[in-house]
């Protein structure tokens, strides 16, 4: 049993070899907007309300990009940033991969690009994460895994960010 666990850990470590954290957070930012997350994965990444039954019973349609956007706004507010408004830098995320480990649902493999873009189009900060294994341990359904990973991705993107005073 211990040998199997060690092999699994070694395998996961090898898979994340190309994953690096995002660069040092941008400085001098007190307020920003969060642009809707762009989904370039080729998948709908539906969490709820995407099936016929879901629509029939009135479930609100939600998808991973929407959840990441919502969670980013909440994380930034919790950290003391003013979120929203015109003429402020915009945090832009492009999802390139968001693949759940099926059927185990132990993690979601994520690749994304994040940028903080000033109102005039100048890129103030940018970074990329590839082969990012986001833990979804304990998820009992694909929807649970998507929600858990969406929260973790939002937290991970703005990890270390502090507003300017």
pLDDT tens digits for 111-162? 999 999 999 999 999 999 999 999 999 999 999 999 999 999 999 999 999 9
CATH number for the domain running over 29-157: 3.40.50.10610
The answer to whether the predicted template modeling score (pTM) of the entire model surpasses 0.75 is yes
How many alpha carbons lie under 13 Å from residue 136 in its C-beta half-sphere? 30
Distance in angstroms (rounded) separating the CA atoms of residues 60 and 55: 7
């Amino acid at each position: 049993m211990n040998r199997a666990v060690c092999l699994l850990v070694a395998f996961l470590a090898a898979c994340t070899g190309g994953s690096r954290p995002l660069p040092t957070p941008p400085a001098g930012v007190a307020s920003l907007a969060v642009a809707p997350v762009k989904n370039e994965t080729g998948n709908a990444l539906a969490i709820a309300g995407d099936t016929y039954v879901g629509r029939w019973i009135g479930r609100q349609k939600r998808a991973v990009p929407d959840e990441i956007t919502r969670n980013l706004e909440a994380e930034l507010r919790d950290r003391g940033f003013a979120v929203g408004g015109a003429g402020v830098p915009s945090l832009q995320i492009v999802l390139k991969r968001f693949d759940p480990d099926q059927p185990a649902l132990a993690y979601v493999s994520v690749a994304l690009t994040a940028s903080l873009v000033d109102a005039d189009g100048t890129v103030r900060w940018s970074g990329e994460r590839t082969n990012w294994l986001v833990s979804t341990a304990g998820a009992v359904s694909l929807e649970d895994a998507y929600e858990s990973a969406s929260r973790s991705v939002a937290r991970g993107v703005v990890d270390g960010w502090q507003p300017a005073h």
